[in-house]
Amino acid sequence: MLEGNNSLAVIGCGTMGEAIVRGIFRSGKLTPAQVFATDRRVELVRELAERHGMRTSTDNLEAAKAAQVALVCLKPQHMGAALDSEAMRAALAGKLVISIAAGVRLAQIAAWLPGSPLIRAMPNTPAVIGEGMTVLARGKGVTDAQIALASEIFKAVGRCTEIDEANMDVVTALNGSGPAFAYLVLEALADGAVMMGLRRDAAVSIAAQMLQGAARMVLETGLHPAALKDQVTTPAGCTIAGLLTLEDGRIRSVVARAVEEATRVAGKLGQS
């Protein structure tokens, strides 16, 4: 498991990497002495060390050598340059490597790091506040214990589940891009309330809490969203009137098509 003598290298410790580090420290799973974070920006490296008391560097290879598990949080276009070298292959040989790079497939990473067990992960930005969702896909030879270790890392910033890698493009669209879709819906709901006389700050606050509560109802009751919707919809009421207006605007089709299109684009990421 994550506790004990395990040490973690966070290669490319930007917004998502730091959110994960913060969650791990908050959970008590690792101490700052067990984490080594890198970034190419000297100023950020210095700030990370000051904020968290962990070891930092601009040298990815140094971190890879020092740690037992590597969490790679680089952008897709930077993955090959960072990992595809004899020195990095030697440094990470036999060590669990977890990549959060969108669109970069396990087969690509395996070509760069053939001696490492590999896991692909797709977290999302709510991890910054500890309410993230992360989906894992394991590479060949990855054990249940290694998946459990990766799950521990991401459960420090929210929920975590595992799927087959064949579905990671749609996961990237739904989970990675999904928060932006939700923000757009939230903004539209607030706009409607403002149109009807509510102050903007109150409208946004009410809409945000309402969406959070509705989502938690799905997660905690296990009921289908349609069943929960029907509980709110009374005969001749205002809810059914609003729902019919949404249906007139083809809301279901438009939102579903947004996920479909984002999935198509996600499939092209990291493939140049």
pLDDT (tens digit per residue) in 87-96: 999 999 999 9
Whether residues 148 and 181 share a domain: the answer is no
Mean pLDDT within 69-77: 95
State how far Cα 231 lies from the chain centre.
31
End-to-end CA distance of the chain: 36
What total number of domains does the chain contain? 2
Tell me the residue range of the domain where 69 lies. Answer: 8-167
Mean pLDDT within 67-71: 96
pLDDT of 39 higher than 60:
yes
Say if 1 falls within a structural domain. no
> Considering 167, 202, 221, which residue would you say is the last residue of a domain?
167
- Mapped onto helix, strand or coil, the DSSP state of residue 75 is coil
> Which position has the token pair 């990549």?
99
Residue 5 pLDDT: 63
Say if 75 falls within a structural domain. yes
Q: Is residue 56 classed exposed, middle or buried when 0-12, 13-18 and 19+ CB atoms within 10 A define those classes?
A: buried
Rounded-to-integer distance, Cα 44 and Cα 51, Å: 10
Whether residues 59 and 162 share a domain: the answer is yes
**pLDDT interval class at 270 (50, 70, 90):** confident
> Considering 167, 201, 235, which residue would you say is the last residue of a domain?
167
Which tens digits make up the pLDDT trace of 152-201? 999 999 999 999 999 999 999 999 999 999 999 999 999 999 999 999 99
**46, two tokens:** 């210095």
pLDDT of 22 higher than 90:
yes
Say if 272 falls within a structural domain. no
Which strands make up the sheet holding 8-11, listed edge to edge? Answer: 55-57, 35-38, 8-11, 69-72, 96-99, 118-122, 132-138, 158-162
Q: What are phi and psi of 70, to 5 degrees?
A: -115, 125
- The neighbour count for residue 226, using CB atoms within 10 Å, is 7
Which tens digits make up the pLDDT trace of 230-268? 999 999 999 999 999 999 999 999 999 999 999 999 998
Q: What is the 8-class DSSP label of residue 176? A: I
**pLDDT interval class at 269 (50, 70, 90):** confident
Whether residues 53 and 139 share a domain: the answer is yes
Whether residues 147 and 207 share a domain: the answer is no
pLDDT over 90 percentage in the chain: 94
**209, two tokens:** 């809490």
Tell me, yes or no, if the pTM score tops 0.85.
Answer: yes
